[in-house]
Structure 1
């Protein structure tokens, strides 16, 4: 039998049927058929990713999960292999956008829950330090490579939202409530078509990084500004 989508470049499939949030039987049957006929593909069903009504949001969430899931799975597999080779024998768990954790084995199937896991980890760390030092109310600021994010945690309790908006796409997953207030340290500055200064969203990343790192980066970033 020829591969179901052989030569197409497709690596994953998202299944989103209209009423699967109430009755997932058809999605389950379709997913089982696809996994049998195309074992080389990653298959993601909406009743597994986001079993909620509102088909547009559920479809977007499942599709985004299908897009990033294989990348996350590959990264986590390499990370686990590297840790094992280095002698680490403990369990690997990963942060979620809501500040909780998940087993590494679940990351590939639930990658959409990790979209803002880095900033969420920063909020959780700030809460840990605040409680240790008897600080009740928090306002956190986290500048990374691409953005600067703030969050509030009254009485050391972060606010949790049920939906994220990423690149104008509604993602139905719980997350720590944060607001992006500016560019990050690696955000690249440029002049737009109107002659005005523009910063981001492109980032120099960690490698090559800002020009001042002297690691091959040549474009001006926030970190390079004086």
Structure 2
């Protein structure tokens, strides 16, 4: 259940700031980009598309990329640190989720509305494997001054739309610690979860 909670957080608004006792600190474009791309494969960090926040607290595009990844910086409204990068063909699906949640809809309602739109063809979610990389930790998990990760838990996801236990051979829970498993089987957003069961960062010596 903890891993599912982390993923749900990861699919919400993503942006990039530090939470303070009063108003959140909105970091510079460069620092948000450093934080957002910490989870991305090295070869893709420099040319990924990045979303973060402006001074008004609005989610905006910080950088237009030219590869297959979209990265979302840490959300200033959340008390934890969380960043994620995912395949660009997931962006329409993710963006629609952000729009619907901004209207106050529950997760169940958001899923229901997106399912209708996918079935109608007005919302795109390609039928192919698509990756999502994420890292979650406490509010101070990332050091914005040095641009380094201190201590956080990675989570990896592969979207396999409409996949089932039968079509993949995966169960709906890990067979052993660290093994992949299938979540939301049979849905447009069916996905394979991969967790390492460990934390990473400079404070893990």
Does TM-score exceed 0.5, indicating one fold?
no
Query: Which protein, 1 or 2, shows the higher relative CO under an 8 Å CA cutoff with sep ≥ 6?
Result: 2
Structure 2-normalised TM-score?
A: 0.26
The structure with the largest alpha-carbon Rg is 1
Q: Which has the higher helix share?
A: 1
Structure 1-normalised TM-score?
A: 0.24
